[in-house]
Chains A and B, each alone.
Chain A
Amino acid sequence: MATTTLHPPIAQPYRRSALYEWITTTDHKKIGILYFINSFVFFFIGGLLALGVRAELAQPGLQFVNEDLYNQFFTIHASAMLFLFIIPIGAAFGNYVVPLMVGAPDMAFPRINALSFWMLPAAGILMMGGFLAVGGAAAEGWTSYPPLAGPAYSGTGTDLWLMAVTLIGTSSILTAINFLVTIFKMRAPGLTLFRLPIMVWTQIVTSVLTLLATPVLASALIMQFIDRNYGGNYFDPGNGGSVVLWQNVFWFYSHPAVYIMILPFMGIISEVLPVFSRKPLFGYRAFVFATVAIGALGFSVWAHHMFTTGQVFLPFFALFTFLIAVPTGVKMFNWIATLWRGQLVLKTPLLFAIGFLTMFLIGGLNGAFAAAVPVDFAIHDTYYVVAHLHYVLFGGSVFGVMAGIYYWFPKMTGRMLDETVGKIHWLLMFIGFNLAFFPQHQLGLVGMPRRIADYAADAGWGDLNLVSTVGAFLIAASTLPFLWNIFASLRAGEVAGDDPWEGNTLEWATSSPPPPYNFDHLPEIHSTRPVFDLRHGADAGSTH
């Protein structure tokens, strides 16, 4: 026998089609991008439904849809925007950015991560499938109050809606566990909790809220499903049930969910402002404590959605609702102090972040009116509340989404988005948003209830509704430069390089896009800004 030379087998990448690769991927970055695509698909569907609603309300009279379809439109608009866009896109940013920011190669449970994602398109198809069901999609509002959402008054679409939201809730719970384990167990050496980027802190608090509140929602959804299909009577007052019970359980989830829908975007703003003002975040620890405080207080304010039910101990919930303004105000002042005496680079991410500050401020202040219980008796369930929630969730969250997209797009794709087109996008969205939603304050004050398909011609609401509709179409128009920007950049965008913005956090220490498993080597971590320290030295520009 001749001597044999051992040739250890060299690992060859197994060639698979790109489609197969994307469907089976467990890479957090690819899953993150899938999350983004899925979220934007439902953002556009939800947006089209909103245009249907606004077109119908532009003038008195039913011109485009009947009452039944109208109710389906605003129900699925809100459900898609909240459950299939804003919550998942928070997880999209978390998926893409958090492992990079903590210096980890991937999420703690990559396969569970893939499972959480794939539940979402399935849930979306279930929910939209309602439009094909007998009796149409769910039409009881995204809050699905019984008895209207009970077996006597609603059809199959509502069952599909319940299944879809349960599936989304399951996905959220799995994602929350994944984030928490990743952040607590997989941080790079030297990255202590108080050196974590605020973006990561907001994901911690969001995940804790998700973990504590979502099972409560799931129980409510299952109870309603049993009521509808198996004679459960949980919410049937004729058989010993209580209709207000649903509201208590639903809002016990859905108010903390409002913070699930805003905290990740506060995190984005807290990353963008320091980088583009070339200063550290002002009051880092205050941000951490304020984020935790918002999360904690978020559990004691749910019944402020129920002030007019006559079944709530009002002073308690009024007090805590007012109190939650305090940590939110602390954040606002610290953001402004971050800009103060900085050198502001007015690129698109910063413009969207400033849009967030200016609009979220309005969303906070008009919320104070609703916290004053007697004033809430006047404005509850009117367009004032519609204005309030859009100033928080569009003026706040969506502006935060856009800041984050423009900020991390170069990292995700290796290419820059065009600044001019980005600024046109920002300007159109800013103007359209204010035109669409500011007049709704005035409509609510004069008494226009929400969720009405039509109104009398002599009610005097026509002009303001027309303005609001024009604004809504302007928002829709603003997505065209956005989509064009992405398309053009992917085709022939300027190459970004590793660190186009002079970033602070670890994702800027690797290539754009990052390789599988993210890092060849990590910089030493001595502060919240390891990449800044690498660039300037640890004590650069420090005054004290």
Chain B
Amino acid sequence: MTSPSRMNGASPTVLIVAVVILFLLVGAAVLAVGGNLVRLAESFYPPAGVTSEGKEIRALYDLVFIFAAVIFFLVEGLIVWTVIRYRRKPGQDELPPQTHGNNLLEIIWTVVPAAIVGLLFLFSVQTLGTVDALSDDPAVKIRAVASRFAWQFDYLDESGNSLFTAYSPMVVPVGQKVQMSLRSPDVIHAFYVPQFLFKRDVVPGRDNRFDFTVDPADVGQTFRGQCAELCGTGHWTMVFEVKAVSAAEYATWRQEQIDAAQATPPPSAPPAALDLNLAAKDVKFSTLSLEVPANTPFSITFGNQDEGVPHNVDIYAGPDTSGSRVFDGGVPFEGKEVVIYRIQPLPAGAYTFNCRAHPIPAMTGTLTVK
């Protein structure tokens, strides 16, 4: 405490260099988000949560974050300050005081952290009680069937029978309790929607369930979802979307799906005079661009070469799949199999074809009609 601190050879240089470089790093991070500090701060938080359960989880995250941030700055600051303050100065040949410990301090830094984690535990259990609760009477029951490498969503009636099967997007009404049950015929997958702040494993041989209610404020929004448990080579391709619609819109959509499911599927017809070849292998289309003349009937001979993986081909008007579906390829079928799709004449323009089970770039192509 008596001697003024003086520089001591090369060691402080390294510290100064380290501090300067850390500042540069922080500066680079700020630049990386376009100098937008709000965006930088937000990147330390998960999404706000679009379900009532997700909002609870986000609130718990914020609470833990406060404790973690305060402890981080206190302890990290203490370390850095101690290292800078107590560097050995030239001429310090006497040993510093040889303190061996202090029981009061030991008790304090045992009891205080124990109290903090005890508190966090209680808050966690409280939140867990609400986000993990299962309703006896959900408004919508959906069974997600995850298989390598596709999601399918069976909408169930009261007694659990499948009414119809949908592929991505999974359409749900806002403001109503949806109960998911999860099935896998092969390996473990996980149902994960980041904006729900939630995931649950899809475990073969088990029936995992969870409830969620999408906030009415998020009506019309689409949320990305993805398999979160390694399931093999196509793991990253197991993406899906959840679309939140109003209760009325949902009811209409549901009825359409039920009607479509009851209609008899068109028989596989012989190929038209104009036939295109398309194959799916390793969850990729063999080509991502097709071209046909306008106002001419044509067919696509589609070979699914992925054993056990469902694929199909749907065609949408416009440059992406948000346009209206001009051709419905029907329920995706598992390989290896070949199906011939007969397609009615299309007016000139840009169309998009994709696999319903795999809304990913490798299975989304452009069909040019001219």
* Residues of A that sit less than 8 Å from B by CB: 66-68, 71, 139-141, 145, 147-148, 152-153, 237-238, 242-244, 277-280, 282-286, 308-311, 314-315, 318-319, 322-323, 325-326, 329-330, 332-334, 336-337, 339-347, 351, 354, 357-358, 361-362, 365-366, 368-369, 371-375, 377-382, 419-420, 423, 426-427, 430-431, 434-435, 441-442, 445-447, 449, 451-457, 459, 463-464, 467, 536, 540-544
Evaluate whether A333 and B230 lie within 8 angstroms (CB atoms) in the complex, with A378-B199, A453-B235 already known. Answer: no
Does B14 touch A at the CB level, under 8 Å? yes
Q: Is the CB of A377 within 8 A of B131?
A: yes
Q: Which of A337, A366, A542 gathers the greatest number of chain B CB atoms within 10 Å?
A: A337
A452 contacts across to B, CB distance below 8 A:
226, 235-236
Q: Is the CB of B199 within 8 A of A541?
A: no
Evaluate whether A315 and B97 lie within 8 angstroms (CB atoms) in the complex, with A310-B201, A427-B18, A435-B25 already known. Answer: no
Q: Is the CB of A431 within 8 A of B21?
A: yes
Q: Is the CB of B98 within 8 A of A540?
A: yes
Q: Is the CB of B117 within 8 A of A431?
A: no
Encoded as 1 (CB less than 8 Å from any A CB) or 0, chain B from 29 to 49 comes to: 000100000000001111100
Evaluate whether A323 and B97 lie within 8 angstroms (CB atoms) in the complex, with A373-B128, A377-B57 already known. Answer: no
Interface CB pairs A-B, < 8 A, 12: A67-B234, A237-B205, A238-B205, A278-B88, A310-B203, A341-B96, A343-B89, A373-B124, A382-B228, A423-B10, A447-B192, A541-B94
Least Cβ–Cβ distance between A70 and chain B, in angstroms: 8
**Interface-facing stretch out of B100-108, B152-160, B292-300:** B100-108
Q: Is the CB of B79 within 8 A of A358?
A: yes
Does B60 touch A at the CB level, under 8 Å? yes
A362 contacts across to B, CB distance below 8 A:
72
Evaluate whether A456 and B125 lie within 8 angstroms (CB atoms) in the complex, with A369-B68, A381-B190 already known. Answer: no
Q: Is the CB of B88 within 8 A of A343?
A: yes
A346 contacts across to B, CB distance below 8 A:
11-12, 14-15, 83, 87-88
* Residues of B that sit less than 8 Å from A by CB: 10-12, 14-15, 17-18, 21-22, 25, 32, 43-47, 54, 56-57, 60-61, 64-65, 67-68, 71-72, 75-76, 78-80, 82-83, 86-89, 92, 94-102, 105-106, 109-110, 113-114, 117-118, 120-121, 123-125, 127-128, 131-132, 186-188, 190, 192, 194-195, 197-201, 203-206, 208-210, 224, 226-236, 239, 282, 360-361
Question: Could you tell me the distance between the alpha carbons of A280 and B125 in the complex, rounded to whole angstroms?
Answer: 41
Evaluate whether A336 and B79 lie within 8 angstroms (CB atoms) in the complex, with A326-B113, A381-B228, A449-B226 already known. Answer: yes
Q: Is the CB of B88 within 8 A of A345?
A: yes
B124 contacts across to A, CB distance below 8 A:
318, 322, 371-375
Q: Is the CB of B98 within 8 A of A542?
A: yes
Q: Is the CB of A336 within 8 A of B75?
A: yes
Evaluate whether A445 and B45 lie within 8 angstroms (CB atoms) in the complex, with A318-B121, A342-B96, A346-B11 already known. Answer: yes
Least Cβ–Cβ distance between B170 and chain A, in angstroms: 16
Question: Could you tell me the distance between the alpha carbons of A148 and B234 in the complex, rounded to whole angstroms?
Answer: 12
Evaluate whether A446 and B128 lie within 8 angstroms (CB atoms) in the complex, with A329-B113, A431-B21 already known. Answer: no
Q: B18, B64, B229: which contacts A375 (Cβ < 8 A)?
A: B64
Least Cβ–Cβ distance between A528 and chain B, in angstroms: 9
Q: Is the CB of A309 within 8 A of B203?
A: yes
Question: Could you tell me the distance between the alpha carbons of A318 and B201 in the complex, rounded to whole angstroms?
Answer: 18
Least Cβ–Cβ distance between B143 and chain A, in angstroms: 15
Question: Could you tell me the distance between the alpha carbons of A345 and B9 in the complex, rounded to whole angstroms?
Answer: 11
Q: Is the CB of A456 within 8 A of B187?
A: no
Least Cβ–Cβ distance between A537 and chain B, in angstroms: 11
Determine the residue in chain A with the shortest Cβ distance to B192.
A449
Least Cβ–Cβ distance between B235 and chain A, in angstroms: 6
Q: List 9 A-B pairs, minimum CB-CB distance, nearest first.
A: A237-B205, A447-B194, A541-B95, A346-B11, A452-B236, A378-B197, A343-B88, A322-B117, A310-B208
B101 contacts across to A, CB distance below 8 A:
282-286, 334
A543 contacts across to B, CB distance below 8 A:
97-99
Determine the residue in chain B with the shortest Cβ distance to A333.
B109
Least Cβ–Cβ distance between A233 and chain B, in angstroms: 12
Q: Which of B46, B94, B125 gathers the greatest number of chain A CB atoms within 10 Å?
A: B46
Q: Is the CB of A340 within 8 A of B117?
A: no
Least Cβ–Cβ distance between A160 and chain B, in angstroms: 19
Question: Could you tell me the distance between the alpha carbons of A517 and B48 in the complex, rounded to whole angstroms?
Answer: 64
Q: B15, B72, B110, B230: which contacts A145 (Cβ < 8 A)?
A: B230
Least Cβ–Cβ distance between B63 and chain A, in angstroms: 8
Determine the residue in chain A with the shortest Cβ distance to B15.
A346
Least Cβ–Cβ distance between B37 and chain A, in angstroms: 14
Q: Is the CB of B43 within 8 A of A445?
A: yes
Least Cβ–Cβ distance between A94 and chain B, in angstroms: 26
Evaluate whether A344 and B32 lie within 8 angstroms (CB atoms) in the complex, with A153-B187, A243-B203, A372-B64 already known. Answer: no
Least Cβ–Cβ distance between A272 and chain B, in angstroms: 13
Q: Is the CB of B205 within 8 A of A326?
A: no
B106 contacts across to A, CB distance below 8 A:
283, 286, 330, 334
Determine the residue in chain B with the shortest Cβ distance to A309.
B201
Question: Could you tell me the distance between the alpha carbons of A199 and B92 in the complex, rounded to whole angstroms?
Answer: 28
Q: Is the CB of B117 within 8 A of A467?
A: no
Q: Which of B65, B87, B120, B230 gathers the greatest number of chain A CB atoms within 10 Å?
A: B230
Evaluate whether A71 and B233 lie within 8 angstroms (CB atoms) in the complex, with A357-B79, A427-B17 already known. Answer: yes
Q: Which of B46, B96, B98, B106 gathers the greatest number of chain A CB atoms within 10 Å?
A: B98
